[in-house]
């Protein structure tokens, strides 16, 4: 069985204070505290702003030697690609350059490329995905599709050919959203728990409402065998909880660590 890294999508949340972080926690101490509980973290802020040198050096300095970071790809890669070749090349190169120190430190677990719901399995999109993988082949990659039309053997075969991990997800079972399938398509396997708040998925006033959900133990147990099977097929398996409101992600991540350890 390969290694299983389990953590949360993000760590720097004020509403985690008093739920996961102590009441007197300050921002500067969040990551070191988090690193004493989990072996990895998924950084989603890089979707909006490319990582700065200062950010990356801080990540390296404030975490244990074996700690792993997953960096979410910038929106200009997945959601708003540049039409000009020179501009596109600059975006990809800037993103690569910013992550070299993290990779050199052995702390870059992979890059998460999350495409929008509107990104469907059309020939042009398949070609673009192939282009992205070619440009970013310097790092392990996982792709999260948001549209269920991607869930078939053609997609899995495509990802296997490209050497890219399929991002397995748990989310509300609404029409068009991804089903809870568990498939390994690369030496890396990946799972994201978004919560099952169906009522707020499409209709909410604040973005956090979509992820306001606490998994029950029975719901987590639905995934334990799946995760073990993924780990049997992959060298590294990353599992992240994105139900981040009020520290629910951290609570469920710690629960799942205990459940996966049962009987071992």
- What's the pLDDT tens digit per position in 14-27? 999 999 999 999 99
Q: 3-261 architecture in CATH?
A: Alpha-Beta Barrel (3.20)
Kindly report which listed range (197-206, 219-228, 230-239) carries the lowest average pLDDT score.
197-206
The set of residues, in sequence order, having a beta carbon less than 8 Å from that of 114 and lying 6+ positions away, is: 47, 72, 73, 78, 143, 144, 146, 167
Residue range 17-56, pLDDT digits in tens: 999 999 999 999 999 999 999 999 999 999 998 889 999 9
Higher pLDDT, 222 or 82: 222
Token match 């139900």: residue? Answer: 243
Spell out the alpha helix ranges (H) of the chain: 30-35, 53-61, 75-78, 85-104, 123-135, 153-162, 198-201, 217-233, 248-261
The whole-number pLDDT of residue 262 equals: 66
Q: Is 97 helix (H, G, I), strand (E, B) or coil?
A: helix
The set of residues, in sequence order, having a beta carbon less than 8 Å from that of 125 and lying 6+ positions away, is: 119
The whole-number pLDDT of residue 212 equals: 93
Residue range 122-176, pLDDT digits in tens: 999 999 999 999 999 999 999 999 999 999 999 999 999 999 999 999 999 998 9
Q: What is the pTM of this model?
A: 0.94
Joined tokens for residue 114: 């999350």
Closest by CA to 118, choosing from 80, 160, 174, is 80
Q: What is the mean pLDDT of residues 104-127?
A: 97
The whole-number pLDDT of residue 74 equals: 94
Joined tokens for residue 204: 């909410």
Evaluate whether 247 touches 14 at the Cβ level (below 8 Å): no
């Amino acid at each position: 069985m390969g290694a299983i890294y389990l953590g949360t999508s993000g760590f720097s949340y004020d509403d985690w204070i008093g739920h996961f972080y102590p009441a007197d926690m300050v921002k500067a101490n969040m990551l070191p505290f988090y690193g004493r509980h989990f072996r990895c973290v998924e950084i989603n802020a890089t979707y909006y702003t490319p990582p700065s040198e200062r950010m990356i050096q801080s990540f390296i300095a404030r975490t244990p030697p074996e700690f792993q970071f997953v960096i979410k790809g910038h929106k200009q890669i997945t959601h708003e690609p540049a039409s000009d070749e020179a501009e596109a090349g600059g975006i990809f190169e800037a993103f690569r350059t910013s992550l070299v120190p993290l990779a050199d430190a052995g702390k870059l677990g992979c890059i998460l490329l999350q495409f929008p719901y509107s990104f469907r399995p059309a020939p042009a999109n398949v070609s673009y995905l192939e282009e992205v993988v070619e440009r970013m082949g310097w790092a392990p990659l996982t792709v999260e599709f948001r549209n269920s039309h991607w869930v078939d053997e053609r997609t899995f075969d495509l990802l296997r050919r490209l050497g890219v991990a399929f991002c397995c997800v748990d989310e509300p079972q609404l029409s068009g959203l991804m089903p809870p399938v568990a498939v390994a398509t690369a030496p890396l396997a990946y799972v994201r728990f978004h919560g099952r708040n169906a009522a707020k998925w499409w209709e909410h006033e604040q973005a956090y409402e979509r992820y306001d959900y606490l998994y029950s133990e029975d719901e987590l147990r639905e995934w334990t065998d799946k995760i073990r099977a993924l780990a049997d097929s992959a060298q590294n398996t990353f599992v992240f909880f994105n139900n981040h409101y009020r520290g629910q992600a951290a609570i469920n991540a710690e629960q799942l660590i205990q459940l996966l350890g049962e009987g071992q």
